[in-house]
Structure 1
């Protein structure tokens, strides 16, 4: 099966419709939200600081995510980073390695989109054990920073281009 990460605006009309049907398990909704909210934040008020991507498996969307840059960065992010949001793997496709595949392709897509960024960052709820394992297993580094999020305590993770020391950012 061939996978590739594609910018939302490059999807065909059929692929956009398929992407809008991505669903996560109900227990994941507090952590990543749903596709309606993700697409609303991408499309309702377009901004050069927000970019949507779909992971295609044999040309069918199986996952979706948002990347953000200034002026849309959250308070916890470094101004030289892009942040990952609304990362969703369709519940019917979970357990097949698509989350890991997406995270492996993401750094290349991010640097092609915004060559000036020095890192990727994300915030993950400490109770979201599956997501923490996925991110850490894919090479993201826990920055050691935590803060009170909307659901629980959040940990800030980084992916540094060139695999330098994340504390240098």
Structure 2
């Protein structure tokens, strides 16, 4: 199966329609939200500081994520980074390596979108064991800092580009 990360605006109408049906498990909603909220963030008030990307498996959307830059960066982020938000893998496609595929393709897509960035950052709930394992297993580095987030305590993780 061939996978690739594609910018939302490059998706066909049929792919966007399929993406609209993406669902995560109910217990994941507090951590990543749903596709409606993610697309709402991307499309209702378009901003060059927010980009959406879909992971396509054989040209079918199976996952989605948002990247943010100033002026849309969260308070905890470094101004020279892009931040990862709302990573969602369709509930029927989980466990097949699509989250890992997103993370592997993400650095190149982020640099293509914003060549000036120095790295990527994300914030993950400390109780979201699956997400922590995914990010740390993909080479993201825990900053060691925790702060009170919307759901519980969150950790900041980063991915720095090679100089």
TM-score normalised by L of structure 1: 0.96
Query: Quick check: 1:103 aligned with 2:103?
Result: yes
Query: Quick check: 1:22 aligned with 2:22?
Result: yes
How many Å separate the matches in 1 of 2:132 and 2:69?
A: 23
Query: Quick check: 1:144 aligned with 2:144?
Result: yes
In structure 2, what is the equivalent of residue 133 of structure 1? 133
How many Å separate the matches in 2 of 1:139 and 1:85?
A: 17
TM-score normalised by L of structure 2: 0.99
In structure 1, what is the equivalent of residue 66 of structure 2? 66
Query: Quick check: 1:6 aligned with 2:6?
Result: yes
How do 1:77-116 residues align onto structure 2 when only pairs under 5 Å count? 77-116=77-116
How many Å separate the matches in 2 of 1:135 and 1:21?
A: 25
In structure 1, what is the equivalent of residue 122 of structure 2? 122
How well do the aligned residues superpose, as a CA RMSD in angstroms?
Answer: 0.7
| Structure 2: stretches of 5+ with no match in the other structure | none
CA-CA distance at 1:93 after TM superposition: 0.2
SS state at 1:4 partner: strand
CA-CA distance at 1:20 after TM superposition: 1.0
CA-CA distance at 1:145 after TM superposition: 1.2
How many Å separate the matches in 2 of 1:128 and 1:9?
A: 30
Instruction: Give a deviation string over 1:23-74, Cα, whole Å, max 9, x none.
Output: 0000000000000000000000000000000000000000000000000000
Instruction: Give the paired residue count.
Output: 163
How many Å separate the matches in 1 of 2:153 and 2:60?
A: 34
In structure 2, what is the equivalent of residue 53 of structure 1? 53
SS state at 2:120 partner: strand
CA-CA distance at 1:140 after TM superposition: 0.2
SS state at 1:51 partner: strand
> Segments of 4+ in structure 1 off by > 4 A?
none
How many Å separate the matches in 1 of 2:20 and 2:75?
A: 28
